[in-house]
Amino acid sequence: MMNRSEKERLADFVSQRIEMGETEWYLSPDFIHSSIGRVNESPVSPVKKSAARSDSEMKKAACVEPSFGNGSITAQKSLEDLEKTVCGCVRCSLGRTRTNFVFGDGNPDADIMFIGEAPGADEDAQGMPFVGRAGQLLTRMIEAMKLRREDVYIGNILKCRPPNNRDPKPEEIEMCEPILLRQIEIIRPAVICALGRISGQTLLRTKSNLASLRGKIHDYHGVKFIVTYHPAALLRNPHWKKPAWDDLRLVRREYDGLEL
């Protein structure tokens, strides 16, 4: 039977492991008694139920630093290091409600980058961007451009899902956009394609509607920037697929001059 002090120290130990992203342990009585005296001296490796950990668990365990400055972001030279730096982010309240941080996915040397507004339910559950029905449509759109999904890079402005898929709030964008900017600086795409009105308006800092944003080559921090429909909108309204295809042809033409 543990006394009160031992219980408190065990609670501290468990809190430390949770903060480090670990969510599952089996602690044998022997382990508890042999470790509890050392809890406050050094981290102790817990005995795990299973040695195998999912990619998602591994990523979460690596995300131990919830606060960082913009200087830490700009210091990162690779997407991998950037993700490690920011994946525990709680700069805005969405960091407390997300299931998974959704950094982005694709070719780190991509010439074309697609940017949506924020993860949805499927993305939040899997920690990957554009993986639901809209994501499958995006994959088909990319293939129609005579590219493979793995040729491009896909991400969102926000890395955490807003509850009930509401629009991003200005303060969330302000907190999160430095991560996206650094991703763009590292990838250095030739063309960015914004998926949806919110993405286009937010990144271009404009209230113009989608109709007036489409069909033009904008500039986003020195990169050609084209706005089109969000794939989820195309699922709701297939009549927009033809104009969306015109936008993608423009993206491909601006990328390498190929006329589709």
Give 175 or 210: the residue with its C-beta nearer to ligand SF4. Answer: 175
- Sign for the pseudo-dihedral over CA of 24, 30, 33, 35: negative
Written as six digits, the tokens of 148 are 């493979």
Give 103 or 255: the residue with its C-beta nearer to ligand SF4. Answer: 103
To ligand SF4, the closest distance from the beta carbon of 72 in angstroms equals 13
Give 130 or 229: the residue with its C-beta nearer to ligand SF4. Answer: 130
The partner residues of 112 in beta bridges, in order of sequence, read 191
Phi-psi map region of 163: left, alpha, beta (phi>0 left; psi -120 to 50 alpha): beta
- The residue nearest ligand SF4 at its CB is 95
Closest to 178 measured CA to CA, from 63, 61, 56, 89: 89
d(CA 195, CA 210): 10
To ligand SF4, the closest distance from the beta carbon of 159 in angstroms equals 4
To ligand SF4, the closest distance from the beta carbon of 77 in angstroms equals 20
Give 94 or 226: the residue with its C-beta nearer to ligand SF4. Answer: 94
Write out the residues near ligand SF4 by the rule CB under 6 A.
89-92, 94-95, 158-160, 172, 175-176
Query: Distance between alpha carbon 249 and the CA centroid of its chain, in Å?
Result: 26
Give 103 or 153: the residue with its C-beta nearer to ligand SF4. Answer: 103
To ligand SF4, the closest distance from the beta carbon of 87 in angstroms equals 8
d(CA 118, CA 134): 13
To ligand SF4, the closest distance from the beta carbon of 100 in angstroms equals 11
